[in-house]
C-alpha cells in the first residue's frame, strides 16, 4: 500500500486501517485505540486538539493481532479450535446489539453464535442449515433471552424456561412490544420526581467538590491517554504507582467526607441492599421503586423495573473491575485497574437512571424495527419437571396451538457450567428489592456446590433430566445444540443418559471476557440428536 505520510489524522487512519484489514474500521475504533493506550497519540506542536497517529505504530498494532492471536490461542487450546466462531472481526457494539445489552448477565453467549447455528446458509456462514423460518425452538436455560431475541429477529417462534424468576423478567422485557409514548411518559414522570427528591442535600455539594478534586488529581498523575500508553508498554509499574497515588488522594477524600458530614454505611447490613449501597443511594433506590409501583400497565412496569435494576447494579459500592465478581464494599476512592485513574464510589443514582432509561428506549426501538412476526413464551420453572404445553397454553394460546401440532424443531441453549456461577446471587440486589422468590436450591451446577466428584455427578444428572423432560416436546428428527465449557468431559455421559448421541462438536475461543483474567479460554457447542434417529433430517 502506497503511503505518502508517516503521520495520519484519525480520519486518514480509519481509511488506512480499513484498506489494510479489508473491512470497515471506523474513526471511533481508532479513537478507542488511542484512548486506551494501544497506540500512541502524536500531537501537532502548539495544538493539543489536533491528533495524529504514526502509521507505523498502527501497522505494528494490527500486525500483532492479525493471525498471531489465532496462532497463540491454538497453541494454548489446540488446533481443533474453530477460529471462525470467535467472531473476532466484530466490535463490542455488534456483539451487544440492540436489546442484548438491556441488562448485564453473567455467562451469556453472543447473538452471532445463535445466528450461526439457527440461521440459514449464507455467504458469511457456509454451513448445514438445521432450522427454517417458522420453526419453534426451545431454550430450557434461557438466562437473559439471547436465543429468544434472535429467534424473533430470524422469523422463528420460541419458548424459554429458566428457574430464576428475575432472568425471565429480563428475557420478557427484551421481547415484548411496547407503547413507546406511554413508556417515555412514565420515565419522564419518574425522572422528574427523582430530580426533585434528594434524601440529603449535602450530597450534591459534596459530589461537586469531589469531582473537581479528582479531575485535578487525575490530570496531574494519570494524564490520558499518555499514562495508559506507558502502562501498555510497561514503562510504569502499575501496581506500586497506583497504590501510592491511591493513598495520596485518600487524604483529600476523607477531608471532604468530614467537611460535608457524609454518611457512608447504612445502619444495618442484613441483606444485599444494606451491605452494598451507600446510604443516599439506598434512599434513592427505594424512592424510585415506589414511583414504579404507581405505573398501571404491566409491561411498562416490568421494563421500568429492569431499568432500575440495571441502574442499581452499576451503583453498587464496588470497584469497576470487580463489578462481575463482588469482593468487599468499596466506600472510598481507589485506583481503578479498568480506567487507569482514581475513581470513586457512587453517591446518587440520578445520572445512571437517566442514562439507562434513554439507552433502553433506543435499544427497544431498534429491535422493534428488526423483529419479525413470531410467537414466544417465557416460563419461570424448573426445566427438569416443567409441563411445557400446559405453561405455554396459559401464556400464549396462539403459540400453544402451533406447538401442539408441530412440537419443537430443536433446542439451542447454554446450560450452566458446573461450579462457576450462582445464578440467583448475581442478581441478589433485584431479588432483595423486588421480592421475587429465590430458587437457589433448584439451580444445576451452582458455584456454591463446587466442582468435586459429587458436584459433577449431580450436574450430569441434572442436565440429562432436563433433556429427558424436554424430549417429550421435541419433533421427530430434532436437533439439539448445547453451549458448554466441558473441561471435565461430562457431556458424553449426559448425552447417553438422555438417550441422545453427540453428532458433532465445535470448539470456539471465547474472546472479550469481562474478568481481569484474560488467559485463553474456550467452550464447545455440542450437536446432539436422538440416539435411534441420528440419520433423520
* pLDDT 10s digits, 458-516: 999 999 999 999 999 999 999 999 999 999 999 999 999 999 999 999 999 988 655 44
Query: What is the pLDDT confidence band of residue 536, given thresholds at 50, 70 and 90?
Result: very low
pLDDT > 50? residue 293: yes
Q: Is the pLDDT of residue 204 over 90?
A: no
Q: Is the dihedral of CA 460, 468, 154, 300 positive or negative?
A: negative
Percentage of the chain exceeding pLDDT 70: 93
CB atoms within 10 A of CB 476: 8
Exposure class string for 327-347: b at 16+ Cβ within 10 A, else e: eebbbebbbbbebbbbbbbbb
| pLDDT of residue 353 exceeding 90 | yes
Query: Cα–Cα distance between 326 and 322 in angstroms, integer?
Result: 5
User: Which residue shows C-alpha cell 419437571?
Assistant: 385
Please give the domain boundaries of the chain with CATH numbers for all domains. 7-66 (no CATH), 110-163+381-415+451-530 (3.40.50.150), 180-363 (no CATH)
Mean pLDDT, to the nearest integer, of 88-92? 80
In the numeric block, the cell 423495573 is attached to 305
Parallel, antiparallel, or unpaired for β 136-139 and 408-413? parallel
44 vs 471, higher pLDDT: 471
Task: Give the separation between CA 253 and CA 439, rounded to whole angstroms.
Answer: 41
Question: pLDDT tens digits, residue range 369-418?
Answer: 999 999 999 999 999 999 999 999 999 999 999 999 999 999 999 999 99
* Angle between helical axes of 165-175 and 298-314 (0-180°, round to 10): 110
Give CA–CA dist 413/406, Å, rounded.
20
Task: Give the global pTM.
Answer: 0.85
Bridge pairing between strands 157-161 and 136-139: parallel
- Residue found by looking up cell 488506512 in the block: 16
Q: Is 359 helix (H, G, I), strand (E, B) or coil?
A: helix
CA nearest to 376, candidates 168, 166, 73, 109: 168
The angle subtended at Cα 266 by Cα 261 and Cα 267, nearest 5°, is 105
Predicted confidence (pLDDT) at residue 239 exceeds the cutoff of 50: yes
Q: Which of 22-36, 140-154, 492-506 has the lowest mean pLDDT?
A: 22-36
What is the mean pLDDT of the segment spanning 420-427?
A: 91
* Cβ–Cβ under 8 Å, residues 176 and 299: yes
Confidence of residue 67 (pLDDT cuts 50, 70, 90): low
Note the pLDDT of residue 533.
67
Contact 301, 292 (CB under 8 A): yes
How far is it, in rounded angstroms, from Cα 106 to Cα 90? 20
For residue 379, the cross-strand partners are: 161
Q: Which residue has the cell 467452550?
A: 523
**How far apart are the C-alpha atoms of 344 and 336, rounded to whole Å?**
9
Q: How many CA atoms lie within 13 A of 141 on its CB side?
A: 25
Mean pLDDT of the chain: 91
Spatial CA neighbour of 28 closest among 13, 43, 46, 45: 13
Query: Coil, strand or helix: which one is 502?
Result: strand
pLDDT for res 44 = 62
Looking from the CA of 362 toward its CB, the CA atoms found within 13 Å total: 8
Amino acid at each position: 500500500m502506497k503511503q505518502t505520510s508517516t503521520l495520519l489524522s484519525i480520519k486518514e487512519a480509519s481509511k488506512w486501517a480499513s484498506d489494510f484489514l479489508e473491512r470497515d474500521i471506523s474513526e471511533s475504533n481508532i479513537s478507542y485505540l488511542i484512548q486506551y493506550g494501544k497506540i500512541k497519540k502524536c500531537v501537532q506542536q502548539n495544538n493539543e486538539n489536533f491528533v495524529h497517529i504514526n502509521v507505523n505504530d498502527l501497522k505494528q498494532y494490527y500486525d500483532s493481532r492479525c493471525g498471531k492471536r489465532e496462532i497463540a490461542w491454538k497453541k494454548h487450546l489446540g488446533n481443533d479450535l474453530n477460529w471462525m466462531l470467535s467472531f473476532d472481526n466484530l466490535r463490542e457494539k455488534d456483539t451487544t446489539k440492540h436489546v442484548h445489552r438491556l441488562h448485564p448477565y453473567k455467562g451469556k453467549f453472543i447473538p452471532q453464535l445463535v445466528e450461526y447455528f439457527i440461521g440459514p446458509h449464507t455467504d458469511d456462514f457456509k454451513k448445514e442449515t438445521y432450522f427454517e423460518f417458522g420453526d419453534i425452538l426451545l431454550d430450557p436455560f434461557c438466562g437473559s433471552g439471547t436465543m429468544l431475541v434472535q429467534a424473533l429477529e430470524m422469523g422463528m417462534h420460541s419458548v424459554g424456561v429458566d428457574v430464576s424468576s428475575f432472568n425471565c423478567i429480563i428475557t420478557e422485557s427484551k421481547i415484548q412490544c411496547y407503547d413507546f409514548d406511554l413508556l417515555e411518559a412514565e420515565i419522564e414522570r419518574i425522572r422528574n420526581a427523582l430530580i426533585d427528591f434528594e434524601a440529603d442535600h449535602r450530597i450534591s455539594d459534596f459530589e461537586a467538590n469531589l469531582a473537581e478534586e479528582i479531575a485535578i488529581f487525575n490530570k496531574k498523575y494519570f494524564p490520558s491517554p499518555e499514562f495508559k500508553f506507558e502502562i501498555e508498554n510497561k514503562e510504569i509499574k502499575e501496581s506500586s504507582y497506583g497504590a501510592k497515588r491511591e493513598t495520596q488522594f485518600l487524604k483529600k477524600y476523607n477531608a471532604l467526607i468530614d467537611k460535608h458530614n457524609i454518611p457512608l454505611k447504612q445502619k444495618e447490613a442484613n441483606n444485599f441492599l444494606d451491605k452494598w449501597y451507600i446510604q443516599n443511594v439506598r434512599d434513592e433506590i427505594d424512592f424510585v421503586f415506589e414511583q414504579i409501583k404507581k405505573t398501571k400497565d404491566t409491561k411498562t412496569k416490568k421494563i421500568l423495573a429492569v431499568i432500575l435494576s440495571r441502574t442499581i447494579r452499576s451503583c453498587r459500592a464496588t470497584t469497576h473491575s470487580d463489578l462481575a465478581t463482588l469482593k468487599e464494599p468499596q466506600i472510598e476512592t481507589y485506583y481503578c485497574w479498568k480506567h487507569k485513574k482514581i475513581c470513586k464510589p457512587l453517591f446518587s443514582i440520578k445520572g445512571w437512571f437517566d442514562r439507562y432509561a434513554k439507552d433502553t428506549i433506543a435499544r427497544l426501538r431498534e429491535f422493534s424495527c428488526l423483529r419479525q412476526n413470531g410467537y414466544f413464551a417465557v416460563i419461570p420453572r424448573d426445566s427438569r419437571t416443567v409441563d411445557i404445553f400446559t405453561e405455554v397454553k396459559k401464556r400464549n394460546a396462539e403459540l400453544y396451538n402451533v406447538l401442539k401440532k408441530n412440537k419443537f424443531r430443536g433446542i439451542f441453549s447454554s446450560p450452566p457450567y458446573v461450579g462457576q456461577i450462582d445464578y440467583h446471587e448475581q442478581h441478589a440486589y433485584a431479588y432483595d428489592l423486588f421480592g421475587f422468590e429465590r430458587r437457589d436450591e433448584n439451580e444445576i451446577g451452582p458455584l456454591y456446590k463446587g466442582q468435586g466428584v459429587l458436584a459433577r455427578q449431580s450436574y450430569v444428572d441434572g442436565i440429562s433430566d432436563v433433556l429427558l423432560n424436554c424430549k417429550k416436546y421435541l419433533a421427530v428428527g430434532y436437533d439439539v445444540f448445547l453451549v458448554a465449557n466441558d473441561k471435565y468431559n461430562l457431556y458424553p455421559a449426559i448425552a447417553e443418559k438422555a438417550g441422545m448421541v453427540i453428532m458433532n462438536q465445535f470448539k470456539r475461543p471465547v474472546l472479550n471476557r469481562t474478568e481481569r483474567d484474560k488467559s485463553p479460554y474456550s467452550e464447545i457447542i455440542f450437536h446432539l440428536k436422538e440416539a435411534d434417529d441420528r440419520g433423520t433430517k
